[in-house]
Amino acid sequence: MELYHQLYQPIAAENTKRAASIKLLICDVDGVFSDGRIYLGNNGEELKAFHTRDGYGIKALRHAGIEVAVITGRTSAIVEQRMRSLTVPHIYQGQENKIAAFQELLQHLQLSAAEVAYIGDDLADWEVMQHCGLAVAVQDAHPYLQRYAHMKTSLPGGYGAVRELCDLLLIAQDRFMQFDGSSS
């Protein structure tokens, strides 16, 4: 894990062990893939910014055989479009009760909660995070999540936090640098 330490931050041995067993990464969207701000135009159009490095990380995970899902409380065509472009197969939007989507994913993929990592930024994510094998708060997450998550990224949401977690999972599973595709 020296590489992760050099790239991002020191990591506890316990979290390295957790990362090594992850088979599914679940991400919140607003505040995780984006900086949490929503831009609304005069005609009701919605805009969000996504970081291409996060896209590369997601594609690298998928290439390594690690499943990826998003569970978000909002519904947005932009999210659907972005996740489809990254080949994310499990997209749950409009989920006020995120635990139901989480349980459906576990059953569908025949995984245990210990094999799941979740990255979030706010209190709506905590119900799922407390059941996961690796619960990660982005650097600028709500203080409650920062306090109780297994770890906090060194980068804020929308600025590469997802990529940081993807790199951790790939390094812990000896699969880093095995993907040479585009960042999208």
Residues 6+ apart with CB under 8 A from 75: 93, 94
Interval 131-147 mean pLDDT:
98
CA distance 132 to 118: 7
Per-residue pLDDT at 46: 86
Per-residue pLDDT at 180: 78
| pLDDT above 70 coverage of the chain, percent | 99
Contact of 41 with 51, CB cutoff 8 Å? no
pLDDT tens for residues 71-111? 999 999 999 999 999 999 999 999 989 999 999 999 999 99
Interval 4-26 mean pLDDT:
96
Lowest mean pLDDT of 33-42, 121-130, 155-164, name the range. 33-42
CA distance 42 to 82: 23
User: What does residue 59 show for φ and ψ, rounded to 5 degrees?
Assistant: -65, -40
| pLDDT above 90 coverage of the chain, percent | 89
Can you read off the two tokens belonging to residue 109?
């993929």
Evaluate if residue 44 carries a pLDDT over 90. no
pTM for this predicted structure:
0.96
The rounded mean pLDDT for the chain is 95
Per-residue pLDDT at 178: 85
Rg of the chain (C-alpha set): 15
39-40 vs 46-47, strand pairing mode: antiparallel
